Amino acid sequence: MFAYHWLVSSVCTKKILNITLISLNRPDKINAINLKTLDALQENIKRFEDDTESPLAILYGQEGNFCSGFDLHELDENPDTKLFDDFREFLQKPAKKPIIAAITGYAVGQGLDLALWCDLRFVEENVLMGFYNRRFAIPTCDVTIRRLGQMIGTSRTMDMISLGRHITAREALDWGLCNKMVNCGTAVGEAMTRAIQMSKLSQSMLADRATVLSECETCREEWMSERKHYIGISFEKSKTLIRQFIRGEYGHHGSFKNSHITDSLDFLKN
């Protein structure tokens, strides 16, 4: 078995046989995404896309967690960051070749966005998935909401985004949010087995994949101006909630308790 690897900032990549393995490598931050990590992730994905000898990739997180979402310390220090816009732009465009998510631990907030961006999802049995960004009044990316609705339907999508609660691996499997639930410690190995199987059928598979993706990338433009109105209101609350989280006062482990922010519905009068 031949393997090589390179390191770009907080994202590691290695190649085993003809399969590329890409991992988020910020375990001290539960593999949270900041601008540097997003840039490094896109650079490594571009290398994979340009590698004519690698038909598939596996995306995972180092040391027990897939991704905990955006790095809140960066958002607190730089509330005008380009992270939101750059991440949305990234999510809009599928990779040129299939990527399988091997999910461990937490896949929450923008970490769930990233998992849903992948073609397939293998989740370990103790995984928790949810839009924890709801704790901080940060809207879920519209690209993800449309993608999620096509995967699991309107009712279950509303369930997930309304409260920001997490769902278990079993629920994710039952809802069709993941493709397979596996034992703890085996997600990458299971994804590798599937990737090798798929690599033998890559040429015809890519044609069918393109058809599926063309059907999924629909957009309801009439909702976009309304969404922008709500987002402008929400971000003003986010700053206070993020600072509470950083000080350890609120929001850890997905909790909504002890928030000092109350939603105002005054904007509905406009």
Assess whether pLDDT exceeds 60 at residue 262: no
Q: How confident is the model at residue 208 (pLDDT cuts 50, 70, 90)?
A: confident
Rounded to an integer, the average pLDDT of 110-134 is 95
Q: Quick one: pLDDT at residue 254?
A: 57
What pLDDT digit, counting tens, does each position of 44-92 carry?
999 999 999 999 999 999 999 999 999 988 888 887 789 999 999 999 9
The answer to whether 135 and 123 are in contact (CB under 8 A) is no
Percent of the residues in the chain that have a pLDDT greater than 70, as a whole number: 77
42 CB-contact burial (10 Å; exposed 0-12 / middle 13-18 / buried 19+): middle
- The label of the residue with tokens 């990316």 reads 141
- How many CB atoms are closer than 10 A to CB 175? 18
Does the domain at 1-220 match CATH 3.90.226.10? Answer given as yes
Sketch the domain layout of the chain as residue ranges.
Answer: 1-220
Q: 200 or 222: whose pLDDT is higher?
A: 200
d(Cα 77, Cα 136) in Å, to the nearest integer? 15
3-7, 115-119, 218-222 — most confident range: 115-119
- In angstroms, how far apart are the furthest CA atoms of the chain? 65
At 15 the three-state DSSP class reads strand
Q: Quick one: pLDDT at residue 189?
A: 97
Q: How confident is the model at residue 216 (pLDDT cuts 50, 70, 90)?
A: low
